[in-house]
Amino acid sequence: MAARDLMTGIGLTPKVSLALPVHNGAAFIDECIASILRQTFADFELIVCDNASTDDTCALVTKWCQMDPRVRLHRSSLNRGAAANFNWGFSLSRGQYFKWCAADDLLEPTFLSECVGALDADPGAVLAYTGTIDIDEDGKVLGEIFDNNFPYAFGSEDPVRRFGDLVCHEHSCVTVFGVARRRALEGTSLIAPFVGSDRLLLAELGLKGRFVRVPQNLFLHREHGGRSVKVHRRLQHRVSWFDPTLDRIVFPHFRLMWEYVRAAVRYSEGLRGRVRNVGRVLRWVYWYGWRSLLDDVTFYLPRRSG
């Protein structure tokens, strides 16, 4: 049995680790942390990894650290890029279960209890996530995210079906903010330093096991003009957000395709499984991926003026 703090009853080694990577997140981080600390499930640690913020982010987080010992702040003196910062949080975590948080999103009070309960009840599941609501910068509800109403096969017993849906169908990737088993994340690419690596990570996890979807809408995803996908609309421009040291020609869709193939070979069971999963990647290329691959090439062609 895990040791527990006699004063709080919370595990000295928390059951869940939450990592909150942030860079200049002062606008929303107070609300985000408040929603995390209101969780009905209390046995967690919150690891805030500050990526050389120049606003009031650290001062705001320090206030929360003083009020709640579950909150820990780690500061980087230089901008590591989003990928390194996300993975830093994972390396500092101790829990059996792990979740990334975004500084602009919110959780309903029962988010953790529902996801942890789903994983506890289903040893074959590697990740639990909930329905999602989009909110604006003022917290006003915009509506359900489109993923809520699409019959994805993320929970199928067949790893080829899971992998196929994660690769071939458009989805918002909000499941990357679900609660995952630590042992399932270990050995994956985590958040790699290239655009689309969150899609790759979900595909890798899908090959390892099933996802469980909690039907309630307990995750509040904030849409606002400061999101990286809004600031850097083209994937070729967004690479600097993942890794600021990269300043060269990049082909993000070709990289993602190659990484999908590598995952299919690495994590599939047997030759038949590898062949079927590589076939799913080829299906993605045939359906619509070819347009993305073509965009990688044409992006760097000289533009005609006038």
Q: Is 304 a domain residue?
A: no
Answer yes or no: is 259 within a domain: yes
Name the pTM for this structure. 0.88
> Do 97 and 111 fall into the same domain?
no
- The reply to whether 306 falls in a domain is no
Determine, yes or no, domain membership for 282: yes
104, 133, 157: which is the final residue of a domain? Answer: 104
Q: How many domains does the chain have?
A: 2
Identify whether residues 99 and 111 lie together within a single domain. Answer: no
Residue 230: predicted pLDDT? 46
Residue 70 lies in a domain: yes
185 class by beta-carbon count within 10 Å (0-12 exposed, 13-18 middle, 19+ buried) = buried
Residues 54 and 146 reside in one and the same domain = no
Cα–Cα distance measured from residue 291 to residue 110, given in angstroms and rounded to the nearest whole number: 41
Q: Considering the chain, what percentage of its residues have pLDDT values greater than 70?
A: 86
Stretch 194-198: mean pLDDT, rounded?
A: 86
Domain boundary among 104, 123, 140: 104
Q: What is the pLDDT of residue 6?
A: 38
> Is 305 inside any structural domain?
no
134, 274: one domain:
yes
Residues 168 and 273 in one domain: yes
* Cα–Cα nearest to 201, from 229, 231, 180: 180
Its domain, for residue 164, covers 107-174+187-299
pLDDT of residue 38: 98
Task: Give the pLDDT confidence score for residue 7 in this predicted structure.
Answer: 38
Say if residue 120 is in the same domain as residue 7.
no
Within 8 A by CB and 6+ apart from 124, the residues are: 209, 210
Q: Which residue did the predictor score with more confidence, 10 or 221?
A: 221
CA nearest to 247, candidates 189, 198, 193 = 193
Residues 234 and 129 in one domain: yes
Q: What is the structure's pLDDT at 247?
A: 61
What's the average model confidence in pLDDT over 35-49?
Answer: 98
Lowest mean pLDDT among 41-45, 98-102, 105-109, 226-230: 226-230
Mean pLDDT for the chain overall: 88
- Convert the pLDDT of each residue in 220-236 to its tens digit: 999 866 555 544 455 55
User: Do 132 and 215 fall within a single domain?
Assistant: yes
Domain's final residue, options 68, 83, 104 = 104
* CA-atom Rg of the chain in angstroms: 20
- What pLDDT, on a 0 to 100 scale, did the predictor assign at position 40? 98
One domain, residues 259 and 151: yes
Q: How does pLDDT run across 137-186, given as a tens digit for each residue?
A: 999 999 999 888 888 999 999 999 999 999 998 888 999 999 999 999 99
Q: Is there a single domain that holds both residue 144 and residue 132? A: yes
Window from 1-5, 47-51, 89-93 with minimum mean pLDDT: 1-5
Shared domain for 152 and 272, answered yes or no, is yes
Q: Where are the beta strands (DSSP E) in 13-117?
A: 16-22, 44-51, 71-76, 97-100, 106-107
Amino acid at 268: S
Specify the CATH number for the domain of residue 71.
Answer: 3.90.550.10
Residue 210 confidence (pLDDT): 97
Query: Which residues does 152 contact at the CB level (< 8 Å), separation at least 6?
Result: 165, 169, 171
Does residue 125 fall inside a structural domain? yes
User: Do 27 and 63 fall within a single domain?
Assistant: yes
| Residue at 264 is within a domain | yes
Mean pLDDT throughout 187-193?
91
d(CA 58, CA 228): 20
